[in-house]
Each structure stands twice: as C-alpha cells, then as structure tokens.
C-alpha cells in the first residue's frame, strides 16, 4: 500500500531518526548520478544545471542556446516559468524573477528552495510504481508542504508527458531502453540540491503573466524571456494553464510591444506570429526535436526579439570562421549566408542587412575580395519565392 498520510516520511521510519549519512547511502544505493544533469552545450563559466523533472513544452535541450542569445541585462524575468530550463542554463543576473500561474509549479519551486534536504529524502525513497503515480494525483489542501511537492514531482517525472494532467504512467516495455525508469528518476533527484542553491537569488511570483510583464517590463536593462503555451495551430494538447484563443496571444503581443525591456519570445513558426503580431521583430530559428506528439520528430523553435540577440545563429555551436573564404551564396529577406564563412545569418526585420557573422568574418571577406575582385561579398536580395 502507498502511504497517503500528510507526513513526508513516517515518524517511525529509520530515515527520520538517522543522520544525513544514511540519506547519502540511500541515494547512493539508487545509483543517482549527478552527471546526468549535464547539458550538451555549455556556456563558459556557468555550472551545468538542468531541471529536476521533464516538463511539457520545456526548453531543456535548447536552453543553453537560448541563454547564450539573450541580450545583456541586469534583471531577468520569466513570466511563464515552467521548468526554468533557461534560467538554469544562464549566468545569474543581479536581479531575477520567475512567475507561473500554476500554483503547484510555484509551490514545488518554493519547497525545493526552502527545504531541499527534505525534498531529496522524500523523492529518493519514492519507488517507480504505478500506484505511487496514481496516489500523487490527489493533493488535498491539508498535505504537508514537502509531501505535496513530492507528489507534484512524481506526477511530472512518472507521467507520460511531463505534465500535472492525468496522462498515464511512464514505463518501459522494450528491452532496448538505454536507462531504466528508476535510474532516470534517481538522476532527477541528483539535480535538486544544485537547483535549490541557484534559486536562492531568485524571486518567485504567482500571478497572471501579463501582470508580471507590465510590472517588470519598464527597464531598459531588463530582459524578459517569454515562453507561453504555443499558438493553437502548431500545438498539441497537454498544457494545464491554457492560452487557447488568438485573443490571448493578441493581448500578450500588445503587452510585450509596450515593454521598454528587451523581450525574447519562444514559439513555433505560425502565420499569427510571423505575419501579424511580430512581423517587425528580429527572428532566429533553432533546430530541436520533441516527443510531445507521442513520437520523436524534428521541430524548429523560433525566437522573436525586439532587439538583436547576442549571437548570430544560436543553433550553430561555434561562431568561428573556418570555412573556405568568399563562398557567399543566395540571400533573401529573412536569411543570408555570411560573405566569408557561408554561415547562415538570420536577417533583421528592419535596418541594415547582415552579411558577416563577426568582425573577423568581415575582414577576411574584404581581404579575399581584394585578391579576387570577381568574388565580391553578396548582398541580400528579396525573393518571395524562397522558403523562409
């Protein structure tokens, strides 16, 4: 039977009367590997942190690229917190605030920050069991804070789609699985301590996202990273806090356009965003893959921004020019290959077109052009037939 009392650990359980060494041994016996939280792309000088759960619509794989692209800032704000993957991937700012309308998500982050040892203990001793996940769906108001946070964690980690909705139990039946679910859960537990330390300098809000954007969007040295639920035409169903109508997205766009702060908005390409709401913003694409539709598939995440991003192509691991000089090819109004290294550059919606990925690229291109006059750097041209 699953213990459904309000205490995280029964009072007569050995864990409640032993030192932290017992907990360390218990965790070690579950083969928790801290290295399982490593990201594939690291930002120099920033510790590798990843969320302690999988989250529907989260940006864990893309977070390092998004974090590296953010404009310079002294204040960082996330109106749609979710898994906080981008916050964990970025260099800490002097002021940081995260917000989510879902009270369970905010509760989890608060308890993780305030009582990480208790939460680690509770989660480390939680088995991977169908009945455990079923019991976690019930979270009465009189639950102990840590137990409620543990049940939220169980729903997110042991559910099929990384949501708090009842989407079924996550388990493997194939003998080709690379990692068992108990070991995967242990990997999530191993991330809690470092994440808790990171959150000590972060303010937590629990308000409507538009209110947060209005409250924090007035500073020129603020950056707002907004990752709202995707537009209906490009989304699947599993968001717990919805933005179902285009009216909601119009209201968000109106609030973001009014910001003095730098704004970076995530989403999938859509006519509503590309041709209407953010047609005059900078636009950058990042390649990724997702299993949100039930099968793995490649998707392209789009970043819209009201100011230039800090890197030319966040989906490209290196910005170093190391290709054959003077190889520029065709350009159009949204993208162009760099005149020196042929790196694909996203073109700004307004202002001068970009033809070089860096000052070094510009110098190399012109040196090569002086040596080979017949191969001058190409200029972007408009071709509406080119696929964007």
Query: Mean pLDDT, to the nearest integer, of 12-31?
Result: 37
To the nearest 5 percent, what fractions of the chain are helix, strand and coil? 35, 15, 55
> Residue 208: is its pLDDT beyond 90?
yes
* Summary mean pLDDT of the chain: 75
pLDDT of 377 over the 50 cut = no
95/353: higher pLDDT: 95
What would the two tokens of residue 125 be?
């001793």
- As a residue count, the chain comes to 388
CA distance 215 to 202: 16
Per-residue model confidence as pLDDT tens digits over 77-96? 999 999 999 999 999 999 99
Q: Cα dist. 174→131, 177, 280, 294, 381 in Å?
A: 21, 6, 48, 16, 52
**pTM passes above 0.85:** no
* pLDDT tens by residue, 289-324: 655 444 556 778 999 999 999 864 434 333 333 333
Tokens of 149: 């946070």
Query: Residue 57 — pLDDT band, cuts 50, 70, 90?
Result: confident
Query: Structural domains in the chain?
Result: 14-305 (3.40.50.150), 322-388 (no CATH)
Please tell me the predicted confidence (pLDDT) of residue 77.
Answer: 99
Report the alpha-carbon distance of residue 289 to residue 297 in Å, rounded: 5
């Amino acid at each position: 039977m699953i213990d459904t009392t309000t205490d995280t650990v029964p009072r007569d359980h050995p864990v409640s009367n032993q030192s932290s060494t017992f907990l360390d041994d218990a965790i070690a016996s579950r083969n928790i590997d801290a290295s399982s939280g490593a990201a594939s792309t690291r930002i120099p000088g920033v510790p590798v942190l990843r969320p302690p759960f999988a989250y529907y619509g989260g940006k864990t794989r893309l977070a390092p690229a998004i974090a590296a692209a953010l404009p310079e800032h002294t204040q960082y704000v996330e109106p749609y917190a979710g898994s906080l993957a981008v916050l964990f991937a970025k260099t800490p700012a002097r002021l940081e605030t995260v917000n989510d309308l879902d009270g369970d998500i905010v509760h989890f982050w608060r308890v993780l920050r305030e009582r990480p040892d208790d939460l680690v203990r509770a989660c480390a001793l939680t088995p991977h069991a169908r009945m455990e996940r079923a019991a976690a769906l019930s979270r009465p108001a009189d639950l102990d804070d840590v137990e409620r946070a543990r049940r939220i964690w169980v729903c997110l980690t042991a559910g099929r789609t990384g949501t708090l909705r009842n989407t079924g139990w996550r388990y493997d039946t194939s003998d080709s699985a690379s990692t068992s679910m108990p070991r995967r859960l242990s990997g999530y537990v191993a991330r809690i301590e470092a994440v808790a330390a990171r959150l000590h300098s972060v303010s937590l809000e629990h308000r409507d996202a538009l209110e947060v954007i209005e409250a924090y969007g007035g500073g020129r040295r603020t950056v707002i990273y907004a990752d709202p639920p995707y537009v209906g035409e490009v989304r699947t169903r599993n968001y717990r806090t919805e933005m179902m109508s285009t009216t909601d997205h119009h209201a968000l766009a109106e609030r973001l356009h009014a910001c003095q702060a730098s704004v970076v908005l995530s989403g999938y390409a859509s006519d509503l965003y590309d041709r209407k709401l953010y047609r005059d913003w900078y636009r950058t694409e990042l390649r990724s893959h997702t299993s949100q539709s039930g099968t793995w598939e490649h998707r392209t995440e789009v970043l819209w921004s009201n100011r230039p991003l800090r890197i030319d192509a966040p989906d490209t691991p290196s910005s170093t020019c190391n290709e054959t000089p003077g190889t520029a090819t065709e350009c159009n109004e949204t993208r162009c290959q760099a005149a020196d290294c042929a790196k694909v550059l996203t073109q700004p919606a307004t202002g001068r077109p970009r033809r070089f990925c860096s000052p070094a690229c510009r110098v190399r291109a012109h040196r090569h052009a002086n040596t080979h006059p017949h191969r001058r750097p190409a200029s972007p041209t408009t071709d509406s037939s080119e696929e964007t």
